[in-house]
Structure 1
Amino acid sequence: MSDERRVAVVTGASSGIGAASARGLAAAGFHVVLSARRAERIEAIAAELRAAGQSAAAYPLDVTDRAAVNAFAASLPRCDVLVANAGGALGTEPIATGDPEDWLSMYQVNVLGTLHTTQALLPALVASGAGTVVVMSSTAGHQAYEGGGGYVAAKHGTHAIAATLRLELSGRPVRVIEVAPGMVKTDEFAVNRMRGDVQKAAEVYAGVAEPLTAEDVADAVVWTITRPRHVNVDLMVLRPLAQAAQHKVHREH
């Protein structure tokens, strides 16, 4: 890794949007540090990128473990970009019957995970002279929907971090970008939300001709990061054409 190569950290990089963003940033010339809990997954992706002549490293990390996040931050010689992507949803129960443990789990990874990584890496991002934080929120962070209570609450929290941090960093050399995807079909998101029920996960996308892909969102992430340093994309909302709003989705039958 050249001392001149900019370093991009991507959390939740073992699959989906995180993995696609890591690939996109490596192709754009960054040294990418992939972090996630599943060591074998991120190590395989990092090896794939290095085999393609790109620069990448893997660092197993649970973003809800603050001591581990601090140790990770201390291990980096520099950090120019943080893509705070680690997150996820659990369940579709209404608020009346939702499990508080599910709510807590979603809050810990989506909100506190974003907080931990941002706080730990912020000194390095400022020191870079042109840092960028990309917060991966969701359209759920901007509009409520039935059966989404815990995830909606967590992603509203993620949105609040991005909006507040941008105000607090005014005058300092760090951009804060929020990317809020709508319906994205990845290998794991809906399956995890449905607790491993593949059929229920498939029903989420039933009749939707072209939901967003992880690569669609990653393309947006890389585009925002590679704008001139004086250009801050405060908020980018992405939805597939079939999804006009959280509750308005065209399904072909």
Structure 2
Amino acid sequence: MPRFAPHPEKRATIVAGASAGIGAATATTLAAAGHPVALGARRAEKCEEVAERIRAAGGEAVALPLDVTDDGSVRKFVAAATEALGPIEIVVSGAGDLAAGQIHEMDSDAFAAQVGVHLVGAHRLVSAVVPEMVGRRRGDIVFIGSDVVPMPRPRMGAYVPAKAGLEAMAQTMRMELEGTGVRASVVRPGPTSTSMGMNWDEQTTAAVLKDWMRWGLARHPYFLRASDIAAAVASVVSAPRGVHYTLVEVEPEAPLREDEA
């Protein structure tokens, strides 16, 4: 006799930060697996474009405005997603941006804004969804972390401490949720080609790359694709009941070396 009742065949999913990059790829991948998806971001029109592609491919998706820095926006988003799709079974917390700069040179409001998006915003989602998951005794929360947590990168401003706090929150939740049937997991990407950092000017980009190379943090030029991270998220949430992928680290494979013979 199984130790746990299996997951429902279709699991209502919300993806925060779904307008582009990892979030959009994750929503698309989970919808292709048969899960109805609510896509949320400040750029709701971009979410709608992704949702239209999902529906055109035969999936079920709704696009809703979401600002994780605003408690009312988060509550409204979760309520609308629940009304459209049913009780939320999967939460993917990936909303965020990336501001470059040295910590001691950052304005404190800019520093707080990064922490507010990556860490406090994730907590708003958790507080809005997880209590009902605990009541149903099942559910998955997946936080998109970063390899800057075990290997901090200079000039990442508040991004490094924000992601470190996020992963610490996830680890604490894993302990607190033990025995509830709700799984809290981290997918930790390495360097990934997304829209984050694409608005840096040439001088900022050069300074960042120079410091990364000085500290040995840019070993090769290959980057992950957003779809690679989406595949990792799909693996985490598709694990059968009784199995918990607590941390999945994803790094780009290096280019093949030339034969040395």
Which bracket does the TM-score occupy, shorter chain normalised?
0.7 to 0.9
CA contact (8 A) 2:145 2:187 kept: yes
Aligned to 1:227: 239
Q: CA deviation at 1:170?
A: 1.0
Aligned to 1:82: 91
Cα distance in 2 for residues equivalent to 1:58 and 1:128: 25
> 5+ unaligned residues in a row in structure 2: which ranges?
1-7, 213-217
Query: Is it true that 1:18 corresponds to 2:23 in the alignment?
Result: yes
Aligned to 2:197: 190
* Aligned AA (2:87): R
CA contact (8 A) 1:181 1:238 kept: yes
Alignment match of 2:223 (pick from 187, 202, 211): 211
1:189-209 deviation digits (Å, cap 9, x = unpaired)? 1214x2xx3785598599944
Query: Is it true that 1:173 corresponds to 2:181 in the alignment?
Result: yes
* Aligned AA (1:79): I
Query: Is it true that 1:237 corresponds to 2:244 in the alignment?
Result: no
CA contact (8 A) 1:17 1:215 kept: yes
CA separation of 1:30/1:199 partners in 2, compared to 1, >3 Å: closer, same or farther? farther
Cα distance in 1 for residues equivalent to 2:250 and 2:10: 30
CA contact (8 A) 1:191 1:201 kept: no
1:162-181 deviation digits (Å, cap 9, x = unpaired)? 00111111110101110111
* Aligned AA (1:78): P
1:60-118 deviation digits (Å, cap 9, x = unpaired)? 11011011111222331310000011112111x22332222221110010001100001
Aligned to 1:55: 60
CA separation of 1:128/1:184 partners in 2, compared to 1, >3 Å: closer, same or farther? same
Cα distance in 2 for residues equivalent to 1:57 and 1:117: 17
Cα distance in 1 for residues equivalent to 2:226 and 2:9: 29
CA separation of 1:242/1:101 partners in 2, compared to 1, >3 Å: closer, same or farther? farther
Query: Is it true that 1:73 corresponds to 2:78 in the alignment?
Result: yes
Q: CA deviation at 1:161?
A: 1.1
Please show how residues 92-103 of structure 1 align to structure 2 within 5 Å. 93-103=101-111
Q: How many residues align?
A: 237
User: What's the TM-score, normalizing by structure 1?
Assistant: 0.86
Cα distance in 2 for residues equivalent to 1:117 and 1:98: 27
CA contact (8 A) 1:141 1:154 kept: no
> 5+ unaligned residues in a row in structure 1: which ranges?
244-249
Largest Rg, 1 or 2? 2
Please show how residues 151-166 of structure 1 align to structure 2 within 5 Å. 151-166=159-174
SS in 2 for 1:132: strand
SS in 1 for 2:97: coil
* Aligned AA (1:191): M
CA contact (8 A) 2:187 2:249 kept: yes
User: What's the TM-score, normalizing by structure 2?
Assistant: 0.84
